[in-house]
Amino acid sequence: MRPRIVAVLNQKGGVGKTTTSANLTHALARMGKKVIVIDLDPQCHLAVALGMVDSQQAGIDQVLFGHSTLAQQLLPVRENLHLVAAGPRLQEIEQLSKGASHRGDLLRKALKANDSDQDFIFIDCPPSSGILVANALLATDELLVPMTSDFLALQGLSHLMGTLKKFETALNKKYRLQLVMSRYNPARRLSRDVLDTIKKYFPGQILATPIRETAALAECPSFGKTIFEYRSGWRSAQDFEALAADFLAGRVM
Ligand SMILES: Nc1ncnc2c1ncn2[C@@H]1O[C@H](COP(=O)(O)OP(=O)(O)OP(=O)(O)O)[C@@H](O)[C@H]1O
Ligand SMILES: [Mg+2]
């Protein structure tokens, strides 16, 4: 069976893409799913969040340059969970000026050639709309969009929808789009108002569990731990466990 490929994407920075990528994939792995998570961001934050200290570790950069297969870059980081690091040359893909159209299709081809036995491949995207994100959009039909509950995030979302429309037209396909409310503060009126607005525009497309804003989630990347290792049993661990169950069951609000 082909793995389900999911891009975790939002061109706006700091909305929780990497936090979602690390903790949701670990939650799924803990439930027995076999998961690969690819760090497609030259900032390498995902690898750091999962405890990888070698900043020169090769990864998806070598795959995109055609020097290695995806299978050769799989790093076992937790039980059932493999990381593909970003790699020091990933930034070059974005910077090369020649062959832009060809460079957009590198990830899709690499994933198509991959026949490892996995349930999910997640892709943690950078906060941009360049060639790397184009690679993710060509490689997958399914998008998970973390979204903070503030006014500018709403504006960013409408920009993202415009970009997706263009890709859908050019590629003649329709994305399955699901939103994750991240950094949610139920005590704040703005948080609740923004969620209500998003519900109106994206009915049935928001995963049922909002991820609440907590100090623990902000702290755990600096220890290279997911929330299940840093504060197991705490409310943020419960949020991500519930989110993983929502994701598997297609449970939305
Ligand atoms: N629910 C949360 N509660 C508290 N802090 C959070 C939460 N989610 C994310 N953060 C913190 O907010 C910051 C941005 O989160 P994260 O790195 O996941 O966003 P991102 O979308 O991947 O950012 P970038 O666009 O730079 O890749 C980080 O410092 C992270 O620890
Ligand atoms: Mg990130």
Q: Which CATH number characterizes residue 215's domain?
A: 3.40.50.300
pLDDT at 205: 96
Q: Quickly tell me which residue has 């969620």 as its tokens.
A: 195
Take residue 8 and report the two structure tokens written for it: 């975790």
Q: Which residues pair with 181 in a beta bridge?
A: 147
124-149: average pLDDT: 95
Per-residue pLDDT of 209-232, as tens digits, reads 999 999 999 999 999 999 999 999
pLDDT at 72: 96
Per-residue pLDDT of 189-199, as tens digits, reads 999 999 999 99
Regarding beta strands 142-147 and 35-39, do their DSSP bridges make them parallel or antiparallel, or are they unpaired? unpaired
**For ligand 1, is residue 127 a contact (CB within 6 Å)?**
yes
Is the per-residue pLDDT at 96 higher than 90?
A: no
**For ligand 1, is residue 213 a contact (CB within 6 Å)?**
yes
Binned at pLDDT 50, 70 and 90, residue 152 comes out as confident
Helical H segments across the chain, by residue range: 17-30, 45-49, 60-64, 90-95, 100-103, 106-113, 131-139, 151-171, 189-201, 215-219, 227-230, 235-249
**For ligand 1, is residue 11 a contact (CB within 6 Å)?**
no
The CA-based dihedral angle spanning residues 198, 136, 165, 141, taken in that order and rounded to the nearest 10 degrees? -80
Phi and psi at residue 205, in whole multiples of 5°? -120, 10
**For ligand 1, is residue 39 a contact (CB within 6 Å)?**
no
- The ligand placed nearest to the CA atom of residue 22 is 1
pLDDT at 97: 60
- CA–CA dist 130, 243 (Å, integer): 29
What is the number of domains present in the chain? Answer: 1
Take residue 87 and report the two structure tokens written for it: 């790699």
- The ligand placed nearest to the CA atom of residue 221 is 1
141 contacts: CB under 8 Å, gap ≥ 6 = 5, 173, 174, 175, 176
**For ligand 1, is residue 214 a contact (CB within 6 Å)?**
yes
38-51: average pLDDT: 96
CB-hemisphere CA count at 13 Å for 199?
A: 11
Percentage of residues in the chain having pLDDT higher than 70: 98
- List residues, by chain if needed, whose CB lies under 5 Å from ion ligand 2: 17-18, 45
What residues make up the domain containing 49? Answer: 4-249
- Centroid of ligand 2 to alpha carbon of 218 (angstroms): 13
Take residue 84 and report the two structure tokens written for it: 């593909």
Is the per-residue pLDDT at 1 higher than 80?
A: no
Q: Which amino acid is at 78?
A: R
pTM higher than 0.95, yes or no? yes
pLDDT at 164: 96
Q: Which amino acid is at 174?
A: K
- Centroid of ligand 1 to alpha carbon of 217 (angstroms): 8
**For ligand 1, is residue 86 a contact (CB within 6 Å)?**
no
3-state secondary structure of 111: helix
- CA–CA dist 168, 181 (Å, integer): 24
Ligand 1 atom closest to the CA of 19, numbered from 1: 18
